[in-house]
Amino acid sequence: MSSPEQNAILTIAMLAAFADGTQDEREREALRRMAESLARDHETPELTQIYQDVLLKRVDLHQAAATLNEAPQRQLAYEMAVCICDVDGPANAAERAFLDQLRNALGLAAPQTASVEHDAQTVAIAPLADSGPAPATSDAELDRYILNHAIVNGAIELLPQSLASMAIIPLQVKMVYRIGKSYGYEMDQGYIREFIATAGVGITSQYLEQFGRKLLGGLLGTIAGGLGRGLGSVATGAAFSFATTYALGQLAKRYYAGGRQMNTALLQSTYQSLLGEARQLQQQNLSAIRDKARSLDIGQVLSMVKGP
């Protein structure tokens, strides 16, 4: 895939992230950091320009769509946009209008898009009620629980499908829910997502960064849904989600063990400290992450989201 085609898909991705018109300052800041991180790691300064152009409404959806001449690229762009619109909950009216406009701009028919729309909505509305029994509350057992979740989410990130990356967020939500439950707290999805956002993790930006790393690392190839695992080609950028999942799990453990007394500043500083530790653990667990990825497929991932 050429650089102009990659930039066109990333432009559509960023437009999708802003489609609902409700991003608060935290999410805009998370999106800015995401663009700078991808630009730095992949030496593509266009990404920060894409962010600025979308934020200031200087880009045209139809122009970006016209850059994608091959049907698989157009399908991939639409698949990615659907996942971004649904990653923080089912698409609202503004997001659905954006997707309709994008579908028309890409020249896609409804039967071509129905499957990804259905699967993305399934992930978006995944319940917490079936999350299973709470893990035991000893430090060692909770640490193993969090590490296992981090390995699974790191492995999911290595799968080529856009939908796989979308599943990471609800799995993180379920992890935080079960950690809180183990300390006697009952929460709904809105509360947990607010906890994650307060810690400094933008839900939309996290998915967009995962997608961008796949696209720029060559894992997605030129076929919607991906051409294969390609684990070696993304080794250096692999398992970004391992670190975020591990840090969130450890943060939740401290937060609920302490009776939910952390203020916003302490939550954010603690998360950043834990993220540094998690990145070191990520390197130590790369083999386990890759091994797990080889045993996963998208069907298993969707089952994890919908089940305990």
- At 289-300, the pLDDT tens digits run 989 988 888 888
- The pTM of the full predicted model, rounded to 2 decimals, is 0.82
- Note the Cα 113 to chain centre separation in Å: 20
Token reading at 114: 């129905």
233 band by pLDDT with thresholds 50, 70 and 90: very low
Give the 3-state secondary structure of 239-273. CHHHHHHHHHHHHHHHHHHCCCCCCHHHHHHHHHH
Round the average pLDDT of the chain to a whole number and report it.
82
The contacts of residue 72 (CB under 8 Å, 6+ apart) are: 222, 223, 224
CATH 1.10.3680 intervals, the chain: 3-124
Joined together, the tokens standing for residue 124 give 């978006």
- Architecture label for domain 3-124: Orthogonal Bundle (1.10)
pLDDT on residue 254: 94
Q: pLDDT over 70 for what percent of the chain?
A: 86
Residue in 233, 214, 82 with CA at minimum distance from that of residue 161: 214
pLDDT per residue as tens digits for the range 2-40: 788 888 888 898 898 888 776 667 667 777 777 777 777
Helices vs strands, H then E, count in the chain: 16, 0
Pull the structure tokens for residue 300: 């298993």
Local structure of 91: helix, strand or coil: coil
Report how far residue 27's alpha carbon sits from residue 143's, in angstroms, rounded to the nearest whole number. 29
Please, which residues have CB within 8 angstroms of residue 206's CB and are 6 or more apart in sequence? 30, 34, 168, 169, 241, 244
DSSP letter at 295?
Answer: T
